[in-house]
Structure 1
Amino acid sequence: MCDCIGKALELGMSRRGFLGAGWKLAGAGLPLLMGVPASAAELDVRNQSMAEARSKAQNHDTRLVLLGTAGGPVWWPNCDREGISSAVVVGDAVYVVDCGDGVGKRYKQAELGPINTVSGMTGMENLRGIFLTHLHSDHTIDYFNLFLYGWYDGLTGVKQPVQIYGPGRRGQMEPIFNVPGQKASAPPPVVNPENPTPGTVDMTNYLYQAYALDINDRLRDAHRPDLRNLMQVHDIVIPPINGFRSPNETPVPKMEPFLVHEDERVRVTATLVNHFPIWPAFAFRFDTDDGSVTFSGDTSPCDNLVRLARNTDVLVHEVIDTTWVDALFPPPVGDKEMAFKQHLLSSHTSIDDVGKVAEAAGAKTLVLSHIAPGHAPRANLMRAQRNFSGQLIIGEDLMQVGVGRKRA
């Protein structure tokens, strides 16, 4: 999720609505801002739907497993969702998409690999690949944890290096967001000026350096195998695109999906989506012998995504609840607040629009994930069905969904 959500939260929570008499004005919006714990009845419905979905999914060789379903770099109150992460399971092969907060814990809880209840030091032997849609922290914060902890959770048992794919260097600093009509703010300091827009390979190398003490200790004292032999990291190479000039001028040019990875279990294609100013931001499609599942990544409604997801069995799409955004900025809304509000909404997909995207793509099933806020009311999320004729699933952590044809 774009970092303007943090600024939006700061603006909304610091306004007069939480000072003096303004507290009363904001009171009606507090449930939307802070969330409301689920009732016993709601929990029963959720648990029943998850149990039914898991039971049905076991009849499929290809499964979608939702590891974490919350959006944004926020620990949402009254919410038990972990950070965004999903897995595509094909037979016994596991491919992870995004690595939000808690991905490793959820991976083990989902029992995606062998479980040793005595030592606990198994579970990740079947990890084949990791795919990062973009490099915002809520999608990458536990990326390296999968390896530092995976070292002791079965990762040393992989038969071949885990293939990792993510965005390459942006190559151009993003513009500074300024409120229209107001004086431009002074440029902030540039972090890591020698490489201010690193890609996935860069990020991984920096993380090796950051954890050098720990890694060297494990190598020398515990005789662990070299982590670098357990992973192979790739910056995704974007093919030439007609009309593309630069990330700032043409961040989402019209393009056809392109191949990222293929092995005997899965074919993975990608396209650029609109999460400006973050660039590149990708959507991924996984095709197996059984069916297909497509991940939107973070994006506003995007024609490139519709092309990638054409007739997909399952579309996993991000969503933002605009009633929560409205509660952040109760009227009267000034120019500054309105600018940040529109900036936030321009890089995400609303509940009312997400069904339209799935319908345009011809998706059979729409799964809502990367839900912002993480405590969005289920009744609000169900509005996505109004514009979608297929099956709608409100994603929950550890939910499983069968993909395509059932096992013979």
Structure 2
Amino acid sequence: MTGDPFRLTVLGSATPYPSVDNPCSGYLVSGGRTHIWVDAGTGTLARLQRYVRLDELDAIWISHLHADHSADLLTAYYGALFADVQLAAPIPLFGPPGIADRLAHFLTNTATRSPVESAFAVQELHDGHRARVGAFTLTSRAVAHGIPAFAVRFEARDRSLVYSGDTAPCATLTKLAEACDVLLCEADSAQAPAGEDRVHHTPEDAGETARAAGAGRLIVTHVGPFLTPEEAVARAATRFDGPVDHAAPGAAFSV
């Protein structure tokens, strides 16, 4: 990687639907000339274009197939193939098993399957999946969200960023985040109803995961609509002594 910063830019962090000023989950990870779109929640494609065009992306990485993390892949497909973008090759797309068929199901309107592979070079994630994208090494681990879901660690030189995706606290996320410089972790306010498996972190859980992993910094994201970002940060800070920030839309963080 060149001397350019390893940077996380927040495209959106709302859940379960976008607010008037905050798209759903989506992030841009950049370093040198490498740009990776991480989760493609509703509204994030518009924000992405403030920084890079679709044909300037080196890859897209999707944590799971809930709409607030993946819906803008549908419009990205049209942009990549039928608009003002000229792809030199399909965009590498890392996502959960079945992602190509899921996209094709939504995009196909005739008896002929839409050519999703013309826009995206799909690689299905699995627990322990590793890939090299430009300046970055990506390591993905399966996490606990009730459906196939993944967290990811980005490493470049001696710096590291871990993104939880959506998950309940789990050993695989803590291990993946061990000694990372920055942990971007969901902090949904909701607790699972009695008798149901947990599928999200609370803010306190996010702080505890950051503490257990020995993370250098915690950024809470995916804060539910019944909790303010300030409350989420304050609650996470009761379990983690390091810096705690909120993934506000448009915020940029150096790793």
**TM-score calculated relative to the size of structure 1:** 0.57
What residue identity is the alignment partner of 1:165? F
Name the count of aligned residue pairs: 252
Q: Percent identity?
A: 28
Matched, 1:400 2:252: yes
Map residues 236-385 of structure 1 onto 2, 5 A cutoff. Answer: 236-238=125-127, 258-276=128-146, 278=147, 280-289=148-157, 291-322=159-190, 341-342=193-194, 346-373=198-225, 376-385=228-237
Question: How has the CA–CA distance of structure 1 residues 200 and 388 changed in structure 2, closer, same or farther, with 3 Å as cutoff?
Answer: same
Match of 1:165 among 73, 76, 94: 94
Bigger RCO (CA 8 Å, 6+ sep): 1
Matched, 1:130 2:19: no
Normalized per residue, the structure richer in helix is 1
Output one character per residue of 1:121-163: Cα deviation in whole Å (capped at 9) or x when no partner: xx2332011111111121111112122134467641x444311
Matched, 1:100 2:30: no
Retained in 2: the 8 A contact 1:314–1:366? yes
Give, in whole Å, the separation in 2 of the partners of 1:201 and 1:227: 7
Question: How has the CA–CA distance of structure 1 residues 64 and 290 changed in structure 2, closer, same or farther, with 3 Å as cutoff?
Answer: farther
Matched, 1:142 2:58: no
Question: How has the CA–CA distance of structure 1 residues 348 and 211 changed in structure 2, closer, same or farther, with 3 Å as cutoff?
Answer: farther
What residue identity is the alignment partner of 1:229? S
3-state DSSP of counterpart to 1:320: coil
Retained in 2: the 8 A contact 1:321–1:376? no
What residue identity is the alignment partner of 1:149? G
1:319 Cα deviation after fit:
0.8
Normalized per residue, the structure richer in strand is 2
1:229 Cα deviation after fit:
3.5
CA RMSD of aligned residues (A): 2.6
3-state DSSP of counterpart to 2:55: coil
Matched, 1:206 2:150: no
Output one character per residue of 1:253-279: Cα deviation in whole Å (capped at 9) or x when no partner: xxxxx2332134111111111112x2x
Give, in whole Å, the separation in 2 of the partners of 1:142 and 1:344: 29
Give, in whole Å, the separation in 2 of the partners of 1:269 and 1:369: 20
Question: How has the CA–CA distance of structure 1 residues 237 and 305 changed in structure 2, closer, same or farther, with 3 Å as cutoff?
Answer: closer
Retained in 2: the 8 A contact 1:133–1:281? yes
Give, in whole Å, the separation in 1 of the partners of 2:5 and 2:45: 23
3-state DSSP of counterpart to 2:21: coil
Unaligned runs of 5+ in 2: none
Give, in whole Å, the separation in 2 of the partners of 1:235 and 1:90: 24
Unaligned runs of 5+ in 1: 1-58, 114-122, 169-198, 216-225, 239-257, 326-339, 404-408
Retained in 1: the 8 A contact 2:58–2:133? no
Give, in whole Å, the separation in 2 of the partners of 1:228 and 1:299: 28
Question: How has the CA–CA distance of structure 1 residues 370 and 210 changed in structure 2, closer, same or farther, with 3 Å as cutoff?
Answer: farther
**TM-score calculated relative to the size of structure 2:** 0.88
Give, in whole Å, the separation in 2 of the partners of 1:344 and 1:378: 28
Matched, 1:87 2:28: yes
Retained in 2: the 8 A contact 1:60–1:402? no
Give, in whole Å, the separation in 2 of the partners of 1:377 and 1:232: 36
Retained in 2: the 8 A contact 1:68–1:396? yes
What residue identity is the alignment partner of 2:231? A
Give, in whole Å, the separation in 2 of the partners of 1:136 and 1:62: 28
1:60 Cα deviation after fit:
4.7
Give, in whole Å, the separation in 2 of the partners of 1:361 and 1:62: 21
